[in-house]
Amino acid sequence: MSETLTQTNAIQDVLNTLGVKEINKGAAVGNQWLASQGEVIESYSPVDGKLIGKVNSATAADYEAAIVKGQEAFKSWRMVPAPIRGEYVRQFGEELRKVKDELGKLVSYEMGKSYQEGLGEVQEMIDICDFAVGLSRQLHGFTMHSERPMHRMYEQYHPLGTVGIISAFNFPVAVWAWNTALAWICGDVCIWKPSEKVPLCAVACHNIMNKVIKANNLPDGINSLVIGGADLGIKLSEDKRVPLVSATGSTRMGKAVSATVGARLGKSLLELGGNNAIIVTPTADLKMVVPGAVFGAIGTAGQRCTSTRRIIIHESIYDKVKDAIVSAYGQIKIGDPLDESNHVGPVIDKDAVANYLSALERVVEEGGKIIVEGGVLSGEGYESGCYVKPAIAEASNDFKIVQHETFAPVLYLMKYSGDVSNAIALQNDVPQGLSSAIMTNNMREQEEFLAHCGSDCGIANVNIGTSGAEIGGAFGGEKETGGGRESGSDAWKVYMRRQTNTINWGADLPLAQGIKFNL
């Protein structure tokens, strides 16, 4: 086994480079770290079970200070020309490039995903910065022709104010950057409530952003951090001073956020659960099916919202595809994610292990058959107790456990018969609607999958897997996935308020619809 980060003391060098000390405060407004005398949150690595560091969670007073500072900062920040705000985002991207390796290692060590995936997550941050820089010169509205003479109509977009960001453990840095980069160029200020399971990643990111804030003498309140539990998420959801709450996490959490924000007529951007399927048709190329399915199912130990949960295979090729995927699972290497010879690292914690084991029990209870055995690994290298074997079960789509998203490496195989419309119906017959894929060399099947009668998901791929989205496209899903859109395309519009303007440059005052009103 090659020397890895966890077999040396190099993690301390990473923490030092990123400015993450042994004990940190869990709240900051720009360069100002607040008192943070709340409950101590300890971060243990799922890789080896060791304590990485501690933070004091933010208190109600810390939260209030961050909100007030953000409101003050917004007054000047919104007046900065958008391309200039884009320049600051560009600088943030450059700072990320300098520490890509170190931040990728911290993501891998604190969250448990492979080092390559950790690097990929930091690259997503860099990519969204690049995207936002160009976008800062294109926050465009539209012009319309007025029905009234000597009138001009157009629409424009204005900043919202404070954007609350609630992020999940599985992408501890990228999702915050997706939101912050776009919110910044739109003229908004941000307050971030990260998952308390990965607090040190959040501290590191805040430190990196602070370099840009300090170098340019920017208002501290444009970027705030409050680490803590669900109580802080509730505060963001209830706070009328936060016009937009962007929340990533479980459907259960999203429903609570949506109800609370909606009750005050605020806006919410929700990225929630997925139950993603790959349809494999008779013309599919196995050379694409196998790596697409296996990476989708085991990448990030099955803890991506876009992880592949179901493979829907035509009955005529079912055994062939099943045997190929089972054979590939036999080659999977499980272990320290910072050792690049391993494919799969640990799940996030013991609760995730329990959910994984429960899913395997339930699928058998409902009549399924385990064809690649699961289980928890123990012994040398697995001391954390968070390493599990990726498992495969043959199951029916209507099983309750199949309808539920299990955030773990459990894959369900099922058959379909007849034409591709039957497979699409199975794929769509779950509460979630995030990502979907079809493997086919039949153009008609491809087009039916992409048509109005096809996939009901926010993401629909052809001859690639369900996992791994590019920055340029809008990311998000439908149904219980929440309907939100982040990242590329015109996702920036959710961070702004829309305004229609009509200008009368004539000497008379005609009314719309030809209404006469004479005085």
**Number of C-beta neighbours around residue 122 at 10 A:** 24
Is 190 labeled as catalytic in the residue annotation? no
- Contact between 106 and 204 under an 8 Å Cβ cutoff? The reply is yes
Identify which of 279, 271, 256 has the alpha carbon closest to the alpha carbon of residue 441: 279
What is the number of other CB atoms lying within 10 angstroms of the CB of residue 236?
A: 27
Kind of pairing between the strands at 432-433 and 478-479: antiparallel
DSSP 457: S
Q: Residue 515: CB partners within 8 Å, gap ≥ 6?
A: none
As a whole number of angstroms, the distance between CA 420 and CA 449 comes to: 8
Annotated active-site residue 205? The verdict is no
Helix (H) or strand (E) holding 428: helix 420-428
Q: Catalytic residue among 190, 201, 305, 386, which? A: 305
207-234 burial code (b ≥16 CB/10 A, e <16): bbbbbbbeeeebbbbbbbbbbbeeebbe
**Active-site pick, 95, 271, 405, 445:** 271
DSSP assignment, residue 485? -
User: Burial of 172 by CB count in 10 Å (0-12 exposed, 13-18 middle, 19+ buried)?
Assistant: buried
Instruction: Pinpoint the alpha helices (H) of 187-272.
Output: 199-215, 230-238, 251-263
Work out the angle between the directed axes of helices 318-329 and 286-298 (0-180°, nearest 10): 50
* Beta strands 162-166 and 151-159, pairing class: unpaired
3-state SS class at 496? strand
**Which residues are known catalytic residues?**
271, 305
